[in-house]
Amino acid sequence: MTLTIIAFLSLEAPKRRFFPDMLWLTFKHGLFTFGLIVSGAVVWQRVMGSIPVSLMTAVIVLGAVAGLVGGAINYMSIRASLMVEQHHQSDSH
């Protein structure tokens, strides 16, 4: 959720209103991320079972997951924040 707000505030291009458009997007991204991580963890636990790892391995895995999720959320936030003019193609037959 924090990444969505930071991405919105860092944009200098014309962007959508924060309230209610981006506020809703912030909550949506938070729920999406939480659901994705929890469902992935449940499936992993079901398929692989418990796997004991060292603290360093856990930190590396957590960092990789956080980086991937952060990058995806940042991309989706910037894409949704921009005011994009839609150009309609006209058929000239």
Residues 7, 80: contact at Cβ < 8 Å?
no
Q: Please name every residue paired with 15 in a beta bridge, in sequence order, or none if there are none.
A: 82
Read off the pTM: 0.67
How far is the C-alpha of 9 from the C-alpha of 80, rounded, in Å?
Answer: 13
The alpha carbon dihedral of 17, 21, 23, 29 has a sign of negative
- Reported as a single tens digit per residue, the pLDDT across 27-63 is 988 898 899 889 989 998 999 998 899 999 999 999 9
What is the Cα–Cα distance from 58 to 80, expressed in whole angstroms?
Answer: 33
